[in-house]
Amino acid sequence: MLPKISFPTFTIEIPSTKKKEMFRPFLVKEEKILLMAKLSEKDEDILTAIKQIVNNCAIDETFDVDNLSIFDLEYLFIKIRAASVEDIVKVSYKDNEDNKIYDFEVNLNNIKIIFPDKIENNIKIGDDTGIIMKYPNASIYDDKEFLNSGNDALFNLIIKCIDKIYDGEEMYDVKSYKKEDVENFLESLDVKTFEKIKNFMTNQPKMSYDIKYTNANGKERTINLSSLSDFFTLR
């Protein structure tokens, strides 16, 4: 029999829960998953591949990638990639003032998750009535209906991110109700309350890494990287 290859493990703290999970590095089979997804040139295939890779690399068999928020998933993917391949990636950006291209090295270990200030997930409707929101989780990448919802994407995402509705002492778990019931509930809200919900949805925690440099005109510039495509060429 051929020898069985061992690999190191490492711990990553999940940003939203502060819980520490153990992972292993990418193997060739994970690189193949990502390569095949990139060749398809479909966003949903790339996102599904990232989910599968993170799930594969988790040591704990009870780890469920679908329970992760989207920003947790992206953060874990970057940290696993840093430990598996290299923690320095090279990026290039064209300055829109002097039109010169600048090359930078990004240390993936220095990427952080920034949580927005004063964004409340408890959306009050009245004195004793309100909605408890949650961050969108990775399971939406497998939801074909949501991915094809077009102009209704934000409304459908809001439905998926309502955790509970309360009225006094009564608590309603939204996942126990039909989608149509939740839609009707949302459509009955006043505009100010709905704007608070949209504010929560549009101010999600996100990855952040600042590149600071001085361009050829002597102007100090800052580039903020905040998405996977900022750090890697996923297409």
* 23 phi and psi angles, rounded to 5 deg: -135, 160
pLDDT at 19: 94
**Pairwise CA distance, residues 130 & 140, whole Å:** 24
Contact 110, 231 (CB under 8 A): no
pLDDT tens sequence across 148-159 = 777 788 888 999
Residue 58: pLDDT band by 50, 70, 90 thresholds?
Answer: very high
The C-alpha torsion from 33 through 208 and 43 to 194, rounded to 10°, is 140
**Pairwise CA distance, residues 84 & 57, whole Å:** 10
Residue 135: pLDDT band by 50, 70, 90 thresholds?
Answer: very high
Which one-letter amino acid corresponds to residue 210? D
- Residue 100 above 50 pLDDT? yes
pLDDT tens sequence across 168-210 = 999 999 999 998 999 999 999 999 999 999 999 999 999 999 9
The C-alpha torsion from 43 through 58 and 36 to 72, rounded to 10°, is 20
User: What is the average pLDDT across 213-230?
Assistant: 92
Give this prediction's pTM. Answer: 0.87
- Residue 90 above 70 pLDDT? yes
Residue 229: pLDDT band by 50, 70, 90 thresholds?
Answer: confident
Q: Domain segments of the chain: what residues?
A: 10-86, 90-111+207-231, 122-202
